[in-house]
Amino acid sequence: MKDIVRRVLALPDDTPVVLHETACADPGCPLLETVIAVFPEGRPARRWRLTRPRAALTRLMLAQTLATPAETDEPLRLDPPVKLAP
């Protein structure tokens, strides 16, 4: 799957690509979602979320999702940030 991501986004072979499957406990959220993160050298990380487990993804789903703007151009944080009381 990482190779598909690299081909669709025309990334060099050494660009880090992460596929991370995570559970969602929010109502209406899928039980599992897959996050694709790309870390191009010298540029901010980019991230896309797919509302399916990794095993259910197809090449077409990946290509369609990666054709949309990235969810964030901020550095990827897999853990939620800690909110401090005022």
In a domain, 46, yes or no: yes
User: Mean pLDDT over all residues of the chain?
Assistant: 83
pTM over 0.85, yes/no = no
Q: Alpha-carbon distance 17 to 19, whole Å?
A: 7
7-49 per-position pLDDT tens digit: 999 999 999 999 999 887 778 777 888 999 999 888 888 999 8
pLDDT value for 85 = 52
Q: What domain range includes position 17?
A: 2-66
In a domain, 30, yes or no: yes
In a domain, 76, yes or no: no
In a domain, 80, yes or no: no
In a domain, 27, yes or no: yes
Which strands form 46-50's sheet, in the order they lie side by side? Answer: 17-23, 32-38, 46-50
In a domain, 71, yes or no: no
Tally of domains within the chain:
1
In a domain, 43, yes or no: yes
